[in-house]
């Protein structure tokens, strides 16, 4: 496993995303991932699966301190009391005294970001949260969150894949030593049969999905949280650090597309 190190924090470059996983399927996927060597797990209040994630963590033969665990505050809970109380409830469901990273899942225009970040600081001071961040924030809103926060903002979790390379945000994160966490790195499955990725993958005996994940993780300050429930695909998603794309291949893979990004966003409207 390779790691990103930003602001002195080490985060595994590949984690497990659990969006749209429920019940035993979620428990089994997290359990299998931990068995295979995953040490980064991403969940959220909106996913309604924190209990299953927590149960899998508790049952795994892995020290809790070795797992980087992220959950996200439902934007409906973005006010001061909502952040604190909903996070305490998340910790109860996850059966853990702390999360490594707490994010605001989406901006809430009805709540001042100062109030949200102040509540997150309280949770950090109490030891319930180690690091804080945001999700789905454009650069101006990310800058504002950082300006008003009394604790460092570690990451912005956004959709990130070859059709949506987030160039402006990526440049900002790299310049400011922030982590960009990429969700839907396979564009909701749109890239698993991509011809360009397949052609490049044949050079390295890799699948199109592995090429897409390698493309993402070769960027400085980027980690990804692909979702998978299949043992084979979970293993494949980790097996991406034994090859490296050339500069020309990276450019070939990078194909910004509003149309294809829009299609994947429609699939992930509730992400």
**Model confidence pLDDT, tens digit, residues 123-157:** 999 999 999 999 999 999 999 999 999 999 999 99
Q: Backbone phi, then psi, for 118, in 5-degree steps? A: -65, -40
Nearest to residue 240, comparing CAs of 196, 194, 186, 195? 186
At 268, is the pLDDT very low, low, confident or very high (cuts 50, 70, 90)? Answer: low
Question: What distance in Å separates the CA atoms of residue 257 and residue 13, rounded to the nearest whole number?
Answer: 25
Answer yes or no: is pLDDT of 71 > 90.
Answer: yes
Global confidence as pTM: 0.94
**Model confidence band, residue 257 (pLDDT cutoffs 50, 70, 90):** confident
Which residues form the catalytic set?
Answer: 47
């Amino acid at each position: 496993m390779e790691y990103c190190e930003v602001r002195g924090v080490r985060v595994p470059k590949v984690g497990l995303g659990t969006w749209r996983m429920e019940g035993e399927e979620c428990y089994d996927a997290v359990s299998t991932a931990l068995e295979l060597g995953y040490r980064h797990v991403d969940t959220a209040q909106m996913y309604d699966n924190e209990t299953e994630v927590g149960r899998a963590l508790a049952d795994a033969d892995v020290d809790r301190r070795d797992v980087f665990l992220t959950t996200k505050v439902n934007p409906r809970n973005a006010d001061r009391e909502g952040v604190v109380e909903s996070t305490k409830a998340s910790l109860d469901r996850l059966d853990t005294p702390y999360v490594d990273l707490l994010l605001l899942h989406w901006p809430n225009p009805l709540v001042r970001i100062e109030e949200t970040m102040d509540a997150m600081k309280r949770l950090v001071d109490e030891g319930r949260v180690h690091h804080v961040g945001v999700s789905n924030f454009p650069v101006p809103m990310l800058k504002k969150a950082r300006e008003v926060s009394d604790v460092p903002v570690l990451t912005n979790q956004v959709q990130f894949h070859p059709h949506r390379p987030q160039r402006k945000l990526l440049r900002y994160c790299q310049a400011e030593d922030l982590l960009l966490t990429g969700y839907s790195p396979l564009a909701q499955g749109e890239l698993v049969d991509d011809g360009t990725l397949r052609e490049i993958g044949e050079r390295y005996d890799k699948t199109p999905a592995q090429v897409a994940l390698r493309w993402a993780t070769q960027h400085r300050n980027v980690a990804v949280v692909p979702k998978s429930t299949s043992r084979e695909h979970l293993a494949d998603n980790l097996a991406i650090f034994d090859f490296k794309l050339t500069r020309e291949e990276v450019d070939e893979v990078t194909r910004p597309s509003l149309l294809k990004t829009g299609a994947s966003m429609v699939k992930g409207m509730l992400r």
